[in-house]
Amino acid sequence: MTDNTASDTLRIAVAQLNPTVGDVAANLAKAREARADAARQGADLVLFTELFLAGYPPEDLVLKPAFLKACERAAQDFAGDTADGGPGVIIGTPLKRKSGTHNSIIFADGGKILAERYKLDLPNYGEFDEKRVFQAGPEMQGPVNFRGVRLGIPICEDIWGDVAICETLAESGAEILLVPNGSPYYRGKVDVRHQIVIRQVIECGLPIIYANQLGGQDELIFDGASFAIGSDKTLAFQMSQFEETVNVTTWKRNRAAAGAQSGNNSEGWVCSEGPMSKIPEKEEADYRACMLGLRDYVNKNGFRNVVLGLSGGIDSAICAALAVDALGEERLRAVMMPYRYTSKDSLKDAEDCARALGCRYDIVPIFEPVEGFLHTLTQLFEGTKEGITEENLQSRARGTLLMAISNKFGSMVVTTGNKSEMSVGYATLYGDMNGGFNPIKDLYKMQVYALARWRNTHVPPGALGPSGEVIPNNIIDKAPSAELRENQTDQDSLPPYPVLDDILECLVENEMGVDEIVARGHDRATVTRVEHLLYIAEYKRRQAAPGVKITKKNFGRDRRYPITNRFRDGG
């Protein structure tokens, strides 16, 4: 349908879906299913998210001509579907044109592509690297006419920067702005998005619909939480976070209000019907982000199940809970690997945790392999003192066994180090760092404790695990220990975790100097030691498994420091 007679009602479906990068055929099938759903709900138009047909972010796949051709074919096929008289579509796809390869959308109705729009402001910071593979749109393009309504379609970063794209679209006659996005999650991101859109509404005077992708892609989590801000700067609708859904929203033209603006339609469209979902609080949001990231990484990469070492400590316990919640109890195998320093409490706590979660639990002692390594090295180590080397042999024996189980049964190893440990190198390469994915990689130790307490009293939506206490309270209450020597605790080697985490947040998230951190009340020697540990552990982090991004600055995508680095603040 391409009738340009102005309508006073427009039903816009927002497709908040979970595409898979590179699976163009499956993404097209998902888009078709969503359009059919939207048609049943009476939608006139379906708004999909950024680069939906490709999956986002496609990174260097965009440099592959065959991939671009597959995406273009899918866009043409999907446009052809609109010949059925059903909803029109706005969907993201990469397009190669004479002006370059663009992060684009197609607007299709009546069986044809009626317009293309190209992203103008390419992000090149943090997790984004779009200038590497895309060229910015060659010029500002005006609104599209959809059944008598002029729609502006900026793409994601086009509304985040200082370029006056929204204001220019308003001046060009746009009545509503529809924004396809691929905006990754970090803690508190929903509020940030709301403020960005409110700022643009103030500048352009138009209502803005913000459609955001859902799902895990490697380390990034796209949390959905699509929404709209009306021209009165209030929340017009709010879709759910971490849930795949197609919601139809109803918009009505207020001709009296439009006329009062002397021909400017800035007050002309009002959302009369749409969802108003509650956004989760921070512990729930972080937990669900970790759960979604683990589920999508395992499923999209084709693993049947996962295995992890269940030590009786807090980190492995919460990873086990996340695995059961994300995948189901039948897809997790937990393995306790005791040695002479493993306490009776840890043996009991690990078993209690596995029993509470309902997953398979095996005990594989490591006495013989560790003693075998030590015996083999006796002559080489003669005359040296026993220490960290011997401790690390225990960790590496466990890592070897987990990888053997992975190889034999096709299970992906879930690794369980938290951000505090990864920051200061309190982890063993080729030992407890072995694994394919780490759901808590971007959570500091105290955040791990907070999420464990939260999970013991809540079951997140979509979780497959049981209710009640799934992480025994003794695991939460006892002093953390690697149990690699007699009576060991983490605080033998590290500052107390509340102190360590605050210093690390200052250094990593906020890039604060030593003097600033000391001014917060921290001991200078402790701060300089933590800074030194942070820098020298970079080589370990480069070899670590990927993991869910939770904070504004995770290791890898957001924080790219050199391995060889002699800078010390003030030293």
Q: Catalytic residue positions?
A: 50, 119, 156
Residue in the block written with tokens 């003192």: 385
Return the residue matching tokens 């990231």: 293
From CA 47, how far away is CA 392, in angstroms rounded?
53
Is 441 annotated to bind a ligand? Reply is no
Tokens 């996340």 locate to: 322
CA gap 94, 112 in Å, rounded: 18
The answer to whether 309 is a known ligand-binding residue is yes
77 among annotated binding-site residues: no
Tokens of 252: 């009505």
Is 262 labelled as part of a ligand binding site?
A: no
Distance from C-alpha of 310 to C-alpha of 353, rounded to nearest angstrom: 9
Does 313 carry a binding-site annotation? yes
Report how far residue 194's alpha carbon sits from residue 362's, in angstroms, rounded to the nearest whole number.
47
233 marked among binding-site residues: no
Give the HSE-up count for residue 196: Cα atoms under 13 Å, Cβ half-sphere.
Answer: 21
Q: Which two tokens stand for residue 51?
A: 């680069």
| C-alpha closest to that of 88 among 55, 113, 70 | 113
Residue 333 forms beta bridges with which residues? Answer: 307, 360
Cα 26 to Cα 44: distance, rounded to the nearest angstrom: 24
The span from the first CA to the last CA of the chain, in angstroms, equals 69
CB-CB contact of 146 with 90 (8 Å): no
Closest CA to 154 of 124, 131, 133, 177: 177
The tokens for 371 are 């003693």
* 416 appears as a binding residue in the annotation: yes
| Residue 339 is assigned to a ligand binding site | no
The answer to whether the CB of 88 falls within 8 A of the CB of 107 is yes
Q: If you search the block for the tokens 């459609």, which residue do you land on? A: 211
Residue 312, annotated as binding a ligand: yes
Is 310 annotated among the ligand-binding residues? Answer: yes
Could you tell me the CA-to-CA distances from 400 to 75, 404, 413 in Å, in that order? 46, 6, 11
CB 169 within 8 A of CB 204: yes
CA pair distance 332, 313, nearest whole angstrom = 17
| Cα torsion 468, 472, 478, 482: sign | negative
Q: Is 423 labelled as part of a ligand binding site?
A: no
Ligand-binding site membership of 426 (annotated): no
22 among annotated binding-site residues:
no
Q: Helix, strand, or coil here: 499?
A: helix
CA 257 – CA 264 distance, rounded (Å)? 9
- Which of helix, strand or coil describes residue 81? helix
Length of the chain measured in residues: 571
- How far apart are alpha carbons 95 and 81 in whole angstroms? 19
Q: Is 167 annotated as a binding residue?
A: no
92 assigned to a ligand binding site: no
Return d(Cα 70, Cα 22) in angstroms, integer: 9
**Spatial separation of the C-alpha atoms in residues 174 and 153, rounded to whole Å:** 9
Binding residues for deamido-NAD(+): 392, 421, 540
Which amino acids are annotated as binding site for L-glutamine, given as ranges?
125, 183, 189
Would you list which residues are annotated within the binding site? 125, 183, 189, 309-316, 392, 416, 421, 540
Which residue positions form the known binding site for ATP? Answer: 309-316, 416
